[in-house]
Structure 1
Amino acid sequence: MALPSPPGLTPLEIAFLCEMEMVTVVPRQRLEGLELLGGPTKPLHPPHRTSLPLWLALLLKRQRRANILPPPWFHPTALTSILDFERSNTDQFTPPPPLPPSPPGTATTSPPFLSSSTADAPDGALPYHWLELGEILLDAAPDDIVDPDAVRRLMRDLREVRMAKMRAGVAVLDGSGMVGLKGVGGMEVSEGRAFISGVVDGLRKIGASREQALREREAEEGDDAYEDIAENAGEMDL
């Protein structure tokens, strides 16, 4: 008998969605455009840059046909600034990249169909798939990254600071009933889902027990008041 799947996406599923992110590549060889489900890709002509889905960029990287150009936020200087922001702002996360304006009557583009991981991305914002994208690039293209050891260390520190901030934010659930997760990435949501869900379930049980105790106390007070009224009525009759 198969066990029920946990709620939400698994880390492997989130990493799979991350591979649809658009990244910038510098081709080493000429390659004609490909017809993909998401639309045709542009022909590759060295040394002109172009944007490709991450899964295709990784394939060309393994075949030594292209180099991957990391996004600006993946530079050690940018990561250091983002880490300083996270440490100095305990009540908010690094804001995500702004959404591009969409024509009236059309749906707003959402990850992974944004250029938040290309060479044109802003350097002071973290995209939705920042964590899994960084791990993939560090594993598959360390030679294309400036100081990969420093980047790996900064990514680890940034992940720990943000996860600690998520856990600390759960403490406000008892008072306001919600916690702000604006700017939190997909992998971070998956990792913190079990912890946050457990806290919410615990608070829900505590609230239910408090409500039940309040109802029982009100019922006892109502019975006592009824008995007092009955006694007073008997005395008046006498």
Structure 2
Amino acid sequence: MEMVTVVPRQRLEGLELLGGPTVPLHPPHRASLPLWLALLLKRQRRANILPPPWFHPTALTSILDIERNKTDQFSPPPPLPPPATGEATTSPPFLLSSTADAPDGALPYHWLELGEILLDAAPDDVVDPDTVRRLMRDLREIRMAKIRAGVVVLDGSGMVGLKGVGGMEVGEGRAFISGVVDGLRKIGTSREQALREREVEEGDDAYDPVENGDEMDL
């Protein structure tokens, strides 16, 4: 479903796909294609993949600075486009956030997956791939640390803000967050049970059969 920009090396007529037809390719004009098709053409040496602006070392460095400075939130996601008349509003992950026209200061929903794919399948199309790989690793570590730190507020019936978090990050943090939530739920249940038992014991101790005329004749 993710769209990327390619620079074709050969002419190719449009293809009829389930999601709709693709645009004809005419070198050297850029075109947007589904990621899977772009990877296929890349392997066949029929096109180069143009990385999105946010995948440039300068842009990733700026995003990393934001992540480090804002310890209680994540870098903002790409802005939503205004809805067209009579059409539903597009939301992540169905945004053109990985094409050449995407903003350079925002990580899209599939930033981690797409970055790993491009570094693996098209490193020659990436500017300074070694630096990009290091920045991607740093971003992943600092953002996962924020997710784990945010779980602390759950003990106070708070919420973990996940605005700007990507799909793979949600998947990686789900097991950790679910485990913490289950643990807090069990602790809460134990506290409630202990409170009920204490109230019952205090109620029994406060009841005096002599004062209440319930003393039995022996």
Q: Distance in 2 between matches of 1:187 and 1:167?
A: 15
The equivalent residue for 1:22 is: 3
CA distance in 2, matches of 1:205, 1:233: 40
The structure 1 residue matched to 2:29, chosen from 38, 48, 56, is 48
| Aligned counterparts of 2:203 and 2:15: Cα–Cα separation in 1 | 77
Match of 2:45 among 64, 68, 85: 64
Tell me which residue corresponds to 1:4. none
Percent identity, aligned pairs only, is: 88
CA distance in 2, matches of 1:176, 1:34: 52
Shift of 1:221: 1.9
Structure 2 distance, partners of 1:63, 1:162, is 36
Q: Residue deviations 1:69-115, cap 9 Å, x none?
A: 00000000000000011011110001111111224664322334211
Paired residue for 1:35? Answer: 16
2:82 aligned with 1:101: yes
Equivalent residue, structure 2, for 1:73: 54
Specify which of 64, 71, 92 is matched with residue 90 of structure 1. Answer: 71
- 2: distance between equivalents of 1:216 and 1:102? 57
For residues 86 and 176 of structure 2, the distance between their equivalents in structure 1, rounded to whole angstroms, comes to: 39
Task: Tell me which residue corresponds to 2:182.
Answer: 201
Aligned-partner Cα distance in 2 for 1:183–1:176: 22
CA distance in 2 between partners of 1:120 and 1:27 (Å): 17
Q: Given the alignment of the two structures, is residue 212 of structure 1 paired with residue 196 of structure 2, yes or no?
A: no
Question: Whole-Å Cα distance in 1 between the matches of residues 15 and 212 of structure 2?
Answer: 93
Asked whether the equivalents of residues 58 and 140 of structure 1 are also in contact (C-alpha less than 8 Å), the reply is: yes
What is the count of residue pairs matched by the alignment?
214
Q: 2 CA distance for matches of 1:117 and 1:165?
A: 24
Aligned to 2:150: 169
Superposed displacement of residue 217, structure 1: 1.2
**Aligned Cα root-mean-square deviation (Å):** 1.5
- Counterpart of 1:136 in structure 2 is 117
Task: Work out the CA distance in 1 between the residues paired with 2:67 and 2:210.
Answer: 67
1:67 partner SS: strand
Corresponding position of 1:232: 211
Gaps of 5+ in 2: none
CA contact (8 A) 1:22 1:112 kept: no
Report whether the alignment pairs 1:185 with 2:166.
Answer: yes
Partner Cα distance (1:107, 1:73) in 2: 26
TM norm structure 2: 0.94
1:152 and 2:133 equivalent? yes
